[in-house]
Structure 1
Amino acid sequence: MPVLPPDFYRRPNPVQIARDLLGKHVYSCLDGQLTGGRIVETEAYSHEGDDSMQLHLKRRGTHGRALHEPGGRVYLYQVYNRHTLFNISTNAADKPDTVLIRAIEPLVGLDIMAARRGGIPPDSPRLTAGPGLLTQALGITPALSATDLQGAVLWLEDTGETIAEPDVLASPRVGLAYAGETAATLPWRFRLKDSKWTSPAK
């Protein structure tokens, strides 16, 4: 399957990119161990009209570098000093937007992912149904922030799958009350309807 090209990520609308990522496959290859799955949940973040992005845009150094380069790099950071969140930079270098990958359906390297998750059964949604869970399952840490998605460590592939609109749930993003009512109510979270692998967060 073809790797998603840089132009896919460098489009100006992160909301459309977040929607388009549903059904795509994401892979990691770390220490020779290949793991991956089908993206079933995403969230979009914009540098314009989205107060939740302001904190991120102040970040510099390795972790924040991806936000200030052309789209198509991984932007990784930790919350609660525990969970790594897997974001993809989009748009142009001077117009930093991101898409958060919130959940995947695990397809490749299930035993490896289960071991990384502490022995959780491979068929359990607790394996990858949440942004902190999927990064642990894929072996992704903040040290990989700014990794180019055209390389051999992290990449996304287009399976050719078409997701029909009736199969997509759009709703407000999770945990953004701190960013104000506008940011908290934007319907920029996308999920595959009836997938057991989407995160349980309301």
Structure 2
Amino acid sequence: MVAGPAAVVARDLLGWRLVSLIDGVRTSGRIVETEAYVGAHDPACHGAVGPTPRNRTMFGPPGRAYVYFIYGMHWCFNVVTGDEGDPEAVLIRALEPLEGGDAMRRRRGRPQDPANGPARLCQALGIDGTMDGHTIDRPPLYLEPPDGPVSPDQVAVSGRIGIRKARDWPLRFFLAHSPHVSSGPHVAASTETSWRP
């Protein structure tokens, strides 16, 4: 499920559960928003510059966490999906909180919207740089499949958020009616889930 073209995996991960288990505290959320970064030809992808100490996890095998620091203050969590040497990844942008709400709010320091943004969800689930490169099929950070697939008519597509390059590429996927989606456009730019640069 987490191996393949990022533009496909990003859509398929909607509805999956992201779980953290830290010091015996389990927190989890349903994935409601993702963005695909589709490899070396994607100018917004960290892997477009080639391997560096910061992005080397992207060039490893699929199914690993790529966790990076931004703005000198926030962590962001991605799932590596490309074959080894092919830096494709999916940024998890927002979660619907399911378990451990008190722990999420305590980590965030705010009572509302603990996981409706990539940095917020990392705070809420306790995700940090120590998890970079972790295989996401076991604690402390792992994915659980949904009870059933998300219907295509529930999925909306738009351009990506918070980037300058290739931001109009339709590689942001979200559950159209979820109140837990981040503060980006809530109107689909397209219902077409195939990607063309």
TM superposition score normalised by structure 1:
0.86
Question: Of 35, 38, 43, which aligns to 1:43?
Answer: 35
Name the % identity: 37
Deviation at 1:78, TM superposition (A): 1.3
The runs of 5 or more residues in structure 1 that have no matched partner are 1-7
Structure 2 counterpart of 1:138: 125
> For the Cα contact (< 8 Å) 1:56–1:64, is it kept in 2?
no
Superposition map of 1:1-202 within 5 A: 8-11=1-4, 13-54=5-46, 57-61=49-53, 63-118=54-109, 120-121=110-111, 124=112, 126-177=113-164, 179=165, 183-202=166-185
Residues 55 and 72 (structure 1 numbering): CA distance in 2 closer, same or farther, change over 3 Å? closer
Count of residues paired in the alignment:
185
AA paired with 2:77? Answer: F
SS at match of 1:185: coil
Deviation at 1:48, TM superposition (A): 4.4
Structure 2 counterpart of 1:4: none
2: CA distance, partners of 1:57 / 1:27: 31
Farther-moved stretch of structure 1 (103-112 vs 63-72): 63-72
Deviation per CA, 1:104-131: give whole Å up to 9, x if none: 000011111110011x22xx3x211001
> For the Cα contact (< 8 Å) 1:74–1:86, is it kept in 2?
yes
RMSD, matched Cα: 1.5
1: CA distance, partners of 2:155 / 2:108: 28
Deviation at 1:54, TM superposition (A): 4.7
AA paired with 1:110? Answer: G
Farther-moved stretch of structure 1 (77-86 vs 159-168): 159-168
Deviation at 1:69, TM superposition (A): 1.1
> For the Cα contact (< 8 Å) 1:24–1:161, is it kept in 2?
no
Residues 55 and 93 (structure 1 numbering): CA distance in 2 closer, same or farther, change over 3 Å? closer
SS at match of 1:184: coil
2: CA distance, partners of 1:171 / 1:94: 28
> For the Cα contact (< 8 Å) 1:57–1:64, is it kept in 2?
no
AA paired with 1:45? Answer: Y
SS at match of 2:96: strand
AA paired with 1:148? Answer: T
Deviation at 1:164, TM superposition (A): 1.4
